[in-house]
Amino acid sequence: MTNPTAAPLDVPPEKMPRHIAVIMDGNGRWAQQQGLPRIEGHRRGVASVRRIIEECTRLGIEQLTLYCLSSENWKRPPEELEFLMHLLEQYMIEERTTILEQNIRVAMIGRRAGISDEALREIDKTVELSRKNTGLRLCLAINYGSRAELADAARSIAEEVRSGKLTPDDVTEETVESHLYTAGMPEPDLLIRTAGELRVSNFLLWQISYAEIWVTDLCWPEFDELQLHTAICSFAERDRRFGGLTG
C-alpha cells in the first residue's frame, strides 16, 4: 500500500488535536487470527507504535500517550508478561537514537512496582536523555491504572492537608490535576481505541472527560498512518462544545 504520509493531511491547524491518546488493543487477538503465538502480536504491535510516533511527529502533534501496559494486565500468563518487559527494554535501546534525532521527549506514567529493573533502567535513561527535547512528547502509560492514579493523588493531597500545607477548602479540581501522574500535560483531545472495544478500560478517566472518542475494528498491528489520518479527520469534523453552545 502507498504510504499515506506522501500527501499532506488536509486539516486546518486549528482543527488538529493537540494531544492524542491511544488504547492499543488487539495484539494477541490479531496474532491468534493469523495462527501465531500471542507474543508475536506484541512484536508486530511495535511496528505500529513506530509508524504512529513518526507520523505524529511529522504532523506536529504536541503529545501522544500510549497505553502500553495496564495495572490489570498482570493477570496475563507469566511468559507473556516476561516478553512484554523484554520488549519494553529492547524498544528503549533500539529506538533511543531515533527518539533523540527526532527531538522527541519521552515520559512515563504509572506505578513502577512490578516493572522489571532492566526495562526501568532503559526507560529512565531515555527519559533523562530526552528531557530537554522540544518536539512530540511521547507519554508511555506502563503499569498504569486511572483508579490507582486517582487514589495516589488523593493520598498525596491528604498528606498535604495533614501537614498543614493545604486546608480541605483549598482542594479544587486544579489541586487534583496537579497531583495526577499527568501534571503539566495537556488533556487528550482525541482518544483512539483499536480492536472494536467500546470501553475506556481504566485509562485517563479524569483526563478524557472531554476527549473525542474514535474506535476502529482493526487490531493494533493493523493500525497505520491512514487510520490515524481518518481518526484526525473525524475529530476535525466534530463540534466540541465542552457543555456550552456554539453558533
Query: How confident is the model over 72-121, as pLDDT tens digits?
Result: 888 888 898 999 999 999 999 999 999 999 999 999 999 999 999 999 99
Q: Which amino acid is at 119?
A: A
Q: How far, in Å, CA of 245 to CA of 247, rounded?
A: 7
The secondary structure element, H or E, covering residue 20 is strand 19-23
- Pick the catalytic residue from 73, 124, 133, 152: 73
Of 50-59, 67-76, 124-133, 201-210, the poorest mean pLDDT is in 67-76
Pick 16-146+188-235's CATH classification: 3.40.1180.10, 3.90.1200.10, 3.30.750.80, 3.40.50.2000. 3.40.1180.10
Q: For the chain, how big is the Rg over CA atoms in Å?
A: 19
User: For 7-145, where are the alpha helices, taking DSSP H only?
Assistant: 27-33, 38-59, 78-101, 117-129
Let me know: does 68 contact 88? Beta carbons within 8 Å: yes
pLDDT at 7 over 90: no
pLDDT at 1 over 50: no
**Choice between 97 and 10, residue whose per-residue pLDDT is larger:** 97
pTM for the full predicted model: 0.93
Residue 73 annotated in active site: yes
Domain coordinates of the chain in residue numbers?
A: 16-146+188-235
Residue 189 annotated in active site: no
Spatial strand order of the sheet with 19-23 comes to 105-109, 137-144, 63-70, 19-23, 190-193, 212-215
pLDDT at 204 over 70: yes
